[in-house]
Amino acid sequence: MTYRFSWLRITAATCTASATLMLGTPAHAGLFDDDQARQAVLDLRARTDSLSSQLAAAQRTILDQSNRLDQLNQQVATLRGQNEDLANQLTTLQKQQKDYYADLDGRLKKFEPQQQTVDGVQGTVQPGETETFNAASQQFRNGEFKNAAASFRSFISKYPQSPYQPTAQYWLGNALYALRDYKGSTAMWQSVVKNYPQHPRAPEALLAIANNQLEQGQKAAAKKTLEQLIAQYGSSEVAQAAQDKLSQIK
């Protein structure tokens, strides 16, 4: 009786413990799920913060790279501008150098004999020769006949081999004629005809001699001179003028 009562007490206690265990299990499981969820949220938040930090760092890196790219573009633009400036400076220097050597060459040529064509005749012209002749010609055009005559005489004496010689002698004759030196002018024109018979000024010199003779009343001499002109230079324009003048002599 006592044994049975004890077994019943043990059985009851066991049942009570089992019931208690069964009733306590769901509460423990619920607590465990909340902790996991909380941890998961914390982990997710940590990963989100990490990604945000990485994204911010990437954005800063991109911004830095963009700024550096802008700086490089500005440097390239500056270098391009400097390169264009240098290219322009080089072009200017090359032109200046070319102009300098051209000017230097021109200056040096003034001190060297040059081939030149004067009244259709080519010859060697000495430095200063052309300028001297032009100065005398300008005096004649200005009506300074006395000075022109002196200048042409000086030129003829200074440059005996000049291709300007026939022309200078011809204009000296004109200057003397303007000074009413008929004898001197005739002698000078005759020198042109004698020494330079093939020169373009020769027929003009003959016509000038004929005019000189006519002014002095030497009609026979003038007629003879005109006939010589027509005979020697019949194909020239001056010959036609001589023919007209010859027809007027009576």
Domains detected in the chain: 114-248 (1.25.40.10)
Whole-angstrom distance, CA of residue 82 vs CA of residue 48: 50
* Mean pLDDT of all residues belonging to the chain: 85
pLDDT of residue 86: 85
Q: Whole-model pTM?
A: 0.58
What's the whole-number mean pLDDT along residues 90-99?
84
Summarised one tens digit per residue, pLDDT across range 184-201 is 999 999 999 999 999 999
Distances in whole angstroms, Cα of residue 148 to Cα of each of 29, 105, 170: 138, 32, 12
pLDDT tier for residue 101 given thresholds of 50, 70 and 90: confident
- Dmax (CA) for the chain in angstroms is 204
**Adjacent-strand bridge partners of 123:** 116
What's the whole-number mean pLDDT along residues 12-23?
45
Distances in whole angstroms, Cα of residue 77 to Cα of each of 8, 70, 81, 83, 226: 103, 10, 6, 10, 83
E-strand spans in 99-162?
Answer: 114-118, 121-125
> With 0-12 CB in 10 A as exposed, 13-18 as middle and 19+ as buried, what is 166?
buried
